[in-house]
Chains A and B, each alone.
Chain A
Amino acid sequence: MSAPAAHHYTTTGLDSRKIAIWAFIGSECMLFVSLISTYLIYKGRSIVGPFPHEEWISPTGEHFHPILNIPVTSASTFVLLMSSLAMVLALAAVQNKNVPKRTTSERILGSSKLWLWMTAILGMTFLGFQAFEFTSFVHEGLTIRTNLFGSSFFTLTGFHGAHVTAGVIWLLTLLAIDYHRGLGPADALNVDIAALYWHFVDVVWIAIFTLVYLIK
């Protein structure tokens, strides 16, 4: 089936798949704002520690440091921001697949496989940072059942991590297609839709990083 025949145009003249992904992203905004609202409402209402930004001494005399690790999270935030750059370069490479590449830099920038790999690897690196953070929190005594902070924090960041995981799987399927038959301008909308999802995951993290990690 040729690519144009597979498209479903609406009365607006827009492709229904692109309308659908934007509607989906709009609904995802609602989901994440509800999770962020829950976190902010419960912020500062935990009876027992560990706490995100404050030290805590338990009734048994055990001393707990502020649990959030800002340097590590700053690094993971940078990684996710760079993955968005790689994703947008992957989309540009697919759109310009048929444009002749004369210089080495044009060949690098025009390699969809390179930028899709880069995006997926950066996404997996972010997930590695998150796994490290969750593991260290559990070792320091904070689980999803410890207090209100733990419940709302793990739910919010866990949902975000699940979205990143889905995005990485989506990117790997695009890479498989690219290796199988090559992605070209006719596939640009498919890559664009995946890119929109990936950038949305990035903007959600921009909000989480400020509201959860930086504001005390």
Chain B
Amino acid sequence: MAHEPAHSDTAAAPAVGAHLSGEQHHHPGWSTYWKVATILTLITVVEVWAYYIPSFVASRAFVPLLLTMSAIKFATVVMFYMHLKYDHKLFRALFTGPLFVAAVTLIALLFLFGQLAARFGPGR
């Protein structure tokens, strides 16, 4: 269902965006939104499918693979649906700055409370 009319939002949005937020930004078209939804659905299906394979769940690759797929979904929504890929760099900084601080704090807390020590600590 890829609808990309000649007057899609790729043509109309820049004028709207420029008028309303004082900057030029280019939003993707409807077909891009449908493609992104398909990719998100497929990744979710793979995640759930992997969950039901006991030998894979028991392997060391399971958690890193799930985290990678989740990160791809996260980044895809942020870049294409939240338009951070196309928006002003200040918005990117306002989002990624706190996210980075939060992620570092999360990892530090997990080490501090021993949740990651079992996986990455001495003897592994």
Contacts and interface: CB of A to CB of B under 8 A. Distances in A.
A14 B22 contact: yes
B37 A40 contact: no
A77 B16 contact: no
B41 A200 contact: no
B77 A85 contact: no
Contacts of A30: 98, 101-102
Contact of A36 (B34, B47, B106): B106
A173 B22 CA distance: 26
Contacts, number: 164
A160 interface: no
B74 A203 contact: yes
Nearest to B114: A41
Interface in A190-216: 192, 195-196, 199-200, 202-203, 206-207, 209-211, 214-216
Contact of A99 (B7, B19, B44, B91): B7
B22 A29 contact: no
Please classify how large the interface on chain B is, using the bins under 10, 10 to 19, 20 to 34, 35 or more: 35 or more
Contact of B3 (A19, A82, A105, A199): A105
Interface string A69-107: 010001001100110110111001001100110110110
- Listed residue (A77, A81, A188, A210) with the most chain B CB atoms within 10 angstroms of its CB: A210
Given A22-B91, A37-B105, A210 B7 contact: no
Given A14-B23, A81-B40, A96-B7, A26 B95 contact: yes
Contacts of A15: 20-22
Interface string B26-44: 0100100110110011001
Given A14-B21, A84-B77, A85-B37, A23 B94 contact: yes
B56 to A, nearest CB: 12
Contact of A33 (B3, B5, B27, B103): B103
Main secondary structure of the interface of A (DSSP, over half): helix
Contacts of B113: 41
Nearest to A44: B115
Given A13-B22, A81-B40, A214-B47, A203 B77 contact: yes
Interface string B81-110: 110000010110011011101110110011
Interface of B: 3, 5, 7-9, 12-13, 16-17, 19-23, 27, 30, 33-34, 36-37, 40-41, 44, 47-48, 50-51, 57, 62-63, 66-67, 69-70, 73-74, 77-78, 81-82, 88, 90-91, 94-95, 97-99, 101-103, 105-106, 109-110, 113, 115
Given A12-B88, A84-B77, A95-B9, 12 more contacts: A14-B88, A27-B98, A41-B115, A85-B36, A92-B27, A196-B82, A202-B77, A203-B78, A209-B70, A210-B69, A215-B67, A216-B57
10 contacts: A14-B88, A14-B90, A33-B105, A84-B37, A102-B5, A199-B81, A202-B77, A203-B73, A206-B73, A209-B70
